[in-house]
């Protein structure tokens, strides 16, 4: 059975991507050398659900289900800002910029995506949805002193608010893992709102 690696996400506007890239450059100058694998700025997105290995034969059903989700959802007003790390600053593994929803629309959209994907063989996440934008992942086996320095740097860096986003669509995206990093290709984009059931097919190009 042929499979591809996919996820569902909100693609960010270029203005926010440029701001995130600037934050990455700022941090890269300060973190211990070779301690973080930085995400390519053009690949930063707000993940709603990671599907993982996805049977190609299920793609049409996934598109149809996501179109239904989009048609019943409302656009999401989001604020991007604040720096943090998972699981915490003492043991940083992922460095992220936060996303704050201005209403319940984002949480409702994410829950609807979870419900729509469950019958297709993609069970809900076992943890709460925490909207964030991943800037980089901490490398394995870095010295404890460097790990501590990295967590302290993230905790003490104030990036403020980077901007606001009106999310009016989301996408089904293919991820291909390469030595140079993951390459993302949108497979379909869905307008949020009454016209959302109409799938907008995006060009087959990396983002």
Q: Any idea what the CATH number is for the domain that residue 110 is in?
A: 3.90.1140.10
**Tokens for 151?**
């967590």
pLDDT over threshold 90, residue 151? yes
Enumerate helices (H) and strands (E) in the chain, giving the number of each: 4, 10
Question: Which among 132, 142, 153, 167 is annotated as catalytic?
Answer: 132
Q: Is residue 76 part of a domain?
A: yes
Question: What's the pLDDT at 203?
Answer: 46
Note if 132 is an active site residue.
yes
pLDDT over threshold 50, residue 65? yes
CA distance 129 to 111: 9
Question: What's the pLDDT at 177?
Answer: 84
Q: Is residue 177 part of a domain?
A: yes
Q: Is residue 53 part of a domain?
A: yes
Question: Which among 45, 69, 76, 117 is annotated as catalytic?
Answer: 45
Read off the DSSP letter of residue 201: P
Read off the DSSP letter of residue 158: -
Q: Is residue 206 part of a domain?
A: no
Is residue 68 within a helix (H) or strand (E), and if so which, with residue range? helix 59-72
Range of the domain at 132: 3-200
Question: What's the pLDDT at 125?
Answer: 84
CA distance 184 to 198: 22
Query: Would you state the torsion angle of the CA atoms of residues 132, 161, 28, 155, taken in this order, to the nearest 10 degrees?
Result: -80
Note if 112 is an active site residue.
no
CA distances from 119 to 61, 113, 116 (A): 10, 11, 7
Compute the average pLDDT of residues 31-42.
92
Contacts of 204 (CB under 8 A, 6+ apart): 185
Give the closest residue to 118 by CA, choosing from 46, 167, 69: 69
Number of domains the chain contains: 1
**Tokens for 114?**
């979870």
Task: Work out the angle at residue 40's Cα, subtended by the Cα atoms of residues 173 and 147, and round it to the nearest 5 degrees.
Answer: 120
**Tokens for 88?**
């915490």
Q: Is residue 205 part of a domain?
A: no
Compute the average pLDDT of residues 157-175.
94
Q: Is residue 207 part of a domain?
A: no
CA distances from 102 to 80, 132, 163, 167, 176 (A): 11, 14, 13, 12, 33
- Structure pTM? 0.90
Question: What's the pLDDT at 199?
Answer: 64
CA distance 184 to 13: 16
Give the closest residue to 130 by CA, choosing from 69, 68, 82: 82
């Amino acid at each position: 059975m042929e499979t591809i690696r996919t996820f569902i996400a909100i693609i960010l506007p270029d203005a926010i991507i440029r701001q995130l890239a600037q934050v990455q450059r700022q941090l890269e100058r300060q973190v211990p050398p070779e301690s973080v694998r930085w995400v390519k700025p053009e690949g930063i997105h707000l993940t709603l659900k990671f599907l993982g290995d996805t049977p190609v034969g299920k793609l049409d059903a996934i598109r149809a289900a996501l179109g239904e989700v989009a048609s019943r959802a409302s656009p999401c007003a989001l604020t991007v800002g604040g720096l943090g790390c998972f699981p915490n600053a003492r043991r940083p593994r992922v460095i992220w910029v936060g996303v704050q929803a201005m209403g319940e629309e984002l949480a409702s959209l994410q829950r609807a995506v979870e419900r729509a994907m469950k019958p297709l063989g993609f069970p809900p996440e076992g943890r709460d949805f925490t909207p964030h934008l991943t800037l980089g992942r901490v490398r394995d086996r870095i010295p404890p002193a460097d790990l501590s320095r990295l967590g302290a740097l993230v905790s003490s860096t104030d990036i403020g608010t980077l901007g606001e986003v009106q999310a009016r669509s989301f996408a089904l995206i293919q991820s291909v893992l390469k030595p140079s990093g993951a390459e993302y290709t949108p497979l379909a984009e869905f307008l949020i709102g009454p016209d959302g059931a109409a799938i907008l097919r995006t060009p087959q190009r990396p983002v």
